């Protein structure tokens, strides 16, 4: 199987061009290629597929083989791959996902390849079916959640995939390896949850770490950064209708929630690391 290793500010995936390749058991392939010792090493697997409704389709799998509904860092890399490898020859493209069709604007670097991508991530979903939390423009009803004996106040926001946002005074001492799985597998989240731990730097800047459903701590989470910007607006912690810089371990993302449109825009880089080939025939169904 031919693949391309790419990342969005350190949130790295193995990408397969399914216009040319067939992957019969993506969940098993995701688990194998993601292993940083026995495989390639990544946060998961992303298949770039033909689509009848968009320029291509993104089919995303976490490191544990679970299928994700949307991936913000991943879709920027899908767009870069599609342009750089000739699947599209335009800089405004559409990508079908399990959370609907997304529209992207590509910026080219001096080498004529995609360097930066702006994604219309769609509208945030504020009524979580996992948690009876309804966030309205006037008020965010934080859900007190008992996790491992401690009560946390979370804000639930979905960007097509579920996120729980927790605000903290400092992230340095966060034992994310301990608390992350407790959130991920909490009884309140029947589909599990992505959890973002956020420190407010100022009214335009947030710092976050993330424990991703199905992948553990990643260096960045695009949908998570969007969910954090939305939650922080609703909680009155950042200025409304202003760009927010979300600082993640792997780099920064620019997020804008246009309240009139009720659309969230994410802008960030996409990077190709290397092309390769790996035998996965032993995993075929
Ligand atoms: N773990 C996520 C999918 C990947 C999201 C993240 N890598 C991003 O960039 O949005 C989930 O299961 O919902």
Say how far apart CA 202 and CA 176 lie, in whole Å: 23
Show the domain range for 60: 2-114+269-283
DSSP 38: T
In this structure, is residue 122 part of a structural domain? no
Q: Does 37 share its domain with 95?
A: yes
Same domain, yes or no, for 274 and 218?
Answer: no
pLDDT of residue 285: 78
Q: pLDDT tens, 30-50?
A: 999 999 999 999 999 999 999
The reply to whether 133 falls in a domain is: yes
Task: With respect to residue 163, please indicate whether it lies within any of the assigned structural domains.
Answer: yes
Asked if this assembly's ipTM is beyond 0.85, the reply is yes
Residues 91 and 136 in one domain: no
| In a shared domain, residues 106 and 66 | yes
State the virtual CA torsion across 106, 66, 63, 252 in degrees, nearest 10.
Answer: 40
Residue 202 shares a structural domain with residue 242: yes
Q: What is the pLDDT of residue 139?
A: 43
25 is in an annotated binding site: no
Do 154 and 252 sit in the same domain of this protein? yes
Same domain assignment for residues 36 and 94: yes
* Residue 62 in marked binding region: yes
Q: How far is residue 81's CA from residue 15's CA, in Å, rounded to a whole number?
A: 9
CATH for 144: 3.10.310.10
pTM score: 0.94
From 213, 249, 269, mutation site for ligand 1 pocket: most ligand atoms within 8 A of C-beta: 213
Residues 135 and 256 in one domain: yes
pLDDT at 93: 98
Write down the catalytic residue from 56, 77, 221, 226.
221
Local structure of 173: helix, strand or coil: coil
Q: Which of 15, 6, 3, 65 is nearest to 250 (CA)?
A: 6
Question: In DSSP terms, which residues pair with 68 in a beta bridge?
Answer: 60
**Residue 120 located in a structural domain:** no
Whether the per-residue pLDDT at 130 is higher than 70: the answer is no
Asked whether residue 221 is assigned to any structural domain, the reply reads yes
State residue 126's pLDDT score: 84
Cα separation, 79 vs 115, whole angstroms: 10
Are residues 84 and 7 part of one domain? Answer: yes
Residues 126, 70: Cα–Cα separation, whole Å? 16
Q: Which of 14, 34, 210, 215 is the pocket-test mutation for ligand 1 (most atoms within 8 Å of CB)?
A: 215
CA distance 175 to 115: 34
List, for residues 167-224, the tens digit of each pLDDT value: 999 999 999 999 999 999 999 888 999 999 999 999 999 999 999 999 999 999 999 9
CB contact burial 190-210 (16+ within 10 A = b; e otherwise): eebbbbbbbbbeeeeebbbbb
- Structure confidence at residue 127 (pLDDT): 62
Question: What integer pLDDT is reported at residue 144 of this predicted model?
Answer: 84
């Amino acid at each position: 199987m031919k693949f391309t290793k790419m990342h969005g500010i350190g949130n790295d995936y193995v990408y397969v061009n399914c216009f040319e390749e067939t992957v019969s058991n993506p969940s098993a392939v995701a688990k194998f290629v993601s292993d940083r010792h026995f495989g390639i090493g990544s946060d998961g697997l992303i298949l770039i597929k033909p689509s009848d409704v968009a320029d291509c389709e993104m089919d995303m799998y976490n490191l544990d083989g679970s299928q994700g509904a949307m991936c913000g860092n991943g879709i920027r890399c899908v767009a870069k791959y599609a342009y750089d490898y000739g699947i599209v020859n335009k800089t405004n493209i559409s990508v079908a996902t399990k959370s609907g069709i997304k529209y992207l604007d590509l910026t080219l670097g001096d080498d004529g390849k995609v360097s930066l991508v702006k994604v219309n991530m769609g509208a945030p979903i504020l009524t979580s079916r996992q948690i009876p939390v309804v966030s309205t423009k006037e008020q965010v009803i934080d859900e007190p959640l008992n996790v491992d004996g401690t009560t946390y106040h979370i804000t639930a926001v979905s960007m097509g995939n579920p996120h729980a946002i927790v605000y903290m005074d400092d992230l340095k001492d966060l034992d994310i390896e301990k608390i992350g799985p407790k959130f991920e597998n909490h009884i309140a989240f029947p589909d599990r949850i992505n959890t973002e731990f956020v420190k407010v730097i100022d009214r335009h800047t947030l710092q976050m770490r993330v424990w991703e459903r199905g992948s553990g701590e990643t260096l960045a989470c695009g949908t998570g950064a969007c969910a954090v910007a939305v939650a922080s607006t609703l909680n009155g912690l950042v200025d409304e209708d202003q760009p927010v810089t979300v600082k993640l371990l792997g780099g920064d993302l620019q997020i804008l929630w246009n309240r009139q449109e009720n659309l969230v825009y994410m802008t960030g880089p996409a990077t190709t690391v290397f092309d390769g080939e790996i035998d996965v025939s032993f995993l075929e169904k």
